[in-house]
Structure 1
Amino acid sequence: MKILITGATGLVGSALSDLCRTDGIHVNYLTTSKKKIRSEKNLQGFYWNPKEDYLDEESMADVEVIVHLAGATIAQRWTPENKEAIFDSRIKTARMLFSTLSRKRKENEPKTVMHYISASAIGGYPSSLTKLYNETYPEYATGFLGEIVEEWEKSATEFQRLDIITTCVRTGIILDKEDGALPKIMKPITYGAGAPLGSGKQWQSWIHTEDMAGIYHYIIKNRLSGIYNAVAPYPVTNMEMTEVLAAQLDKPLLLPKVPKFALKLVLGDMAAIVLESQKVSAKKIREEGYLFKYKKIDQAIKDILDI
């Protein structure tokens, strides 16, 4: 099998690429940096430049599955320019992939792509301290995150018009030692300045990097379609996550909770990332047969910190 990954040099993409290659799956990947183009066993890089609407179409040769993981980080100030970059890096690039495949079909090129898998985010669910969300919940959150997720998922369902199986993977907070949210969460705790954020009662549905890559790999191998939450089975509150990290790092929590107004002052609208609450169910992917390696937060943190 040959697959094409966008965002393959990112946190999830690199882990998924390694997992697929170990399984004998050939990985093509698209990169906006020519310096990151590599050619190795079961791995071939190709250049694309979405700003100039350029894509090396050789990247799609004999590809059966496209995994679209590209996206500018949402952990940046939500200025108008950054909002545009966050949107374009997800939705505009998806539309670019669709238009390329659509044109190939019109030119009667052989159909090889059978499955399109798109990253998404649990930030599409409304903030709630009480609800447990599953994939059937009918509404998107209001605000920027909800808008992004809604358009992201709409861009994925477009591929159904080409008789391609489509899947959206709603990702939780990805825990990794070197990248993602965890190093930022750990930093103040490491210096003895850790504290819960806001009320500390907001739910944080998390997932270990290995399970994140594992879910994508499982979806590829089993041709799963539809929407799937990619979160560990046991979400925690911000307070619980902070306490687990402090205990694992053997650091005290001396400071009071960081108030909402202070976070909004420092982060602006982006404070929604840490203040909103989504308690999200992993039941659907588990019922499909995926076995989580890291189910509980203390188990995941121990592995990540190599304790």
Structure 2
Amino acid sequence: MRILISGATGLVGSHITQLCKEKGISVNYLTTSKEKIKDQPENQGFFWNPASEEIDEACFKGVDAIIHLAGASVAKRWTSSYKKEIIESRVKSAALLHKSIQNLNFKILHFISASAIGVYASSYELLYFEEDKAVDDSFLGEVVVRWEKAADEFKDLGMEVSKIRIGLVLAKEGGALPKMKEPVSLNLGTAFGSGRQWQSWIHVDDLAGIFIHVLENKLAGVYNGVAPNPVTNKELMDEIAGRLNKSIWLPNVPAFALKLSLGEMSRALLASQRVSSDKIERTGFEFKYKNLPKALEDLV
């Protein structure tokens, strides 16, 4: 099997690529940096620039499936121009893939797109499943709707379409965890807002495993990419502190202070989404890291 990955050099993409190597799955990957292109038989790089609709068409040769991870980080201040970039980096890149496959008449069987649990409305009480239709009235809710709509366009090409709604990704080398560890290690760690908001997290190795599980089992539809046991923001910070032999003694950062410093992006830190992993588990996927203590034991 050979797959094409966009965003393969990012945090999640690099772990998926490594897992493909272990499983004997060949990878073509797209990158906007020509310096990152390597030409190896089982790991071939190809240049693209979605903004200018440029793509090396050879990237599709021999490909059975596409894993689409490309998209600008949401962990930056949401100015009007950057909000536009967040959406377009996801939608335009998918549209370029769609247009290219259609024009070249390649027969590719499966399109697997990253998505996000930000589509679910903030709630302290509800447990969210993939079938829930309500969409959060926020910028992130809008991003996910347009992101998933772009993915669904590939059904018109006769492809199976899967969407993985990703939660808080925990990893050693990037994402949220190193940023959380830094203040905790200086005895300056604290919870955000009330600290009661649910954090539906996942170890990066399990997330990579979900993508490959969906690929190998040809699973279509929406799947939540979260671990089985969400925690509150306070529990998460306390657990990180415990792993570092530190204590959380400062008062929580008030919501208004986060809004002043981060603007609209503060909503991503204060949102509460308790999300179920039942659907992916019912397909036979087994998590390596079901509980936060075990995940942090591996990562911290």
Which range, TM-score by smaller chain?
over 0.9
| Structure 1 SS opposite 2:269 | helix
Which residue number corresponds to residue 232 of structure 2?
237
1:63-96 per-residue CA deviation (whole Å, 9 max, x = no partner) reads: 0100000111000000011111111111110011
Quote the Cα distance in structure 1 between the aligned partners of 2:207 and 2:107: 26
Which residue number corresponds to residue 260 of structure 1?
255
Alpha carbons 2:168, 2:202 under 8 Å: kept: yes
Q: Post-superposition shift, 1:40?
A: 2.4
TM-score (norm. length: structure 1): 0.96
1:301 and 2:296 are equivalent in the alignment: yes
What are the equivalent positions in structure 2 for 1:27-106 lying under 5 Å apart?
A: 27-105=27-105
Which residue number corresponds to residue 160 of structure 1?
155
**107, 113, 124: which one aligns with 1:112:** 107
Q: Post-superposition shift, 1:3?
A: 0.2
Amino acid at match of 1:87: I
Quote the Cα distance in structure 1 between the aligned partners of 2:268 and 2:293: 22
Which residue number corresponds to residue 200 of structure 1?
195
Alpha carbons 1:62, 1:112 under 8 Å: kept: no
Which residue number corresponds to residue 22 of structure 1?
22
Alpha carbons 2:8, 2:17 under 8 Å: kept: yes
1:175-227 per-residue CA deviation (whole Å, 9 max, x = no partner) reads: 01120011111111111011111000000000001001000010110000000
Which residue number corresponds to residue 181 of structure 2?
186
Quote the Cα distance in structure 2 between the aligned partners of 1:253 and 1:16: 34
Which residue number corresponds to residue 146 of structure 1?
141
Amino acid at match of 1:116: F
Amino acid at match of 1:208: H
Q: How many residues align?
A: 300
Quote the Cα distance in structure 1 between the aligned partners of 2:107 and 2:44: 18
Quote the Cα distance in structure 1 between the aligned partners of 2:178 and 2:265: 18
Q: Post-superposition shift, 1:299?
A: 0.5
Quote the Cα distance in structure 2 between the aligned partners of 1:102 and 1:241: 45
Which residue number corresponds to residue 133 of structure 1?
128
1:257-293 per-residue CA deviation (whole Å, 9 max, x = no partner) reads: 1100011111111101110000000000000000000
Task: List gaps (5 residues or longer) in structure 2.
Answer: none
| Structure 1 SS opposite 2:51 | helix
Alpha carbons 1:228, 1:284 under 8 Å: kept: yes
Aligned sequence identity (%): 49
Q: Post-superposition shift, 1:252?
A: 1.3
Q: Post-superposition shift, 1:301?
A: 0.4
RMSD: 0.8
The list of structure 1 runs, each at least 4 consecutive aligned residues, that deviate by more than 3 angstroms after superposition, is: none
Quote the Cα distance in structure 2 between the aligned partners of 1:210 and 1:40: 24
Quote the Cα distance in structure 2 between the aligned partners of 1:229 and 1:30: 25
Alpha carbons 1:28, 1:46 under 8 Å: kept: yes
Alpha carbons 2:51, 2:92 under 8 Å: kept: no
Quote the Cα distance in structure 2 between the aligned partners of 1:92 and 1:181: 26
**274, 281, 296: which one aligns with 1:286:** 281
Amino acid at match of 2:58: E
Amino acid at match of 1:62: G
TM-score (norm. length: structure 2): 0.99
Alpha carbons 2:124, 2:198 under 8 Å: kept: yes
User: Would the alpha carbon gap of residues 23 and 280 (structure 1) be closer, same or farther in structure 2, given more than 3 Å must change?
Assistant: same
Quote the Cα distance in structure 2 between the aligned partners of 1:269 and 1:120: 20
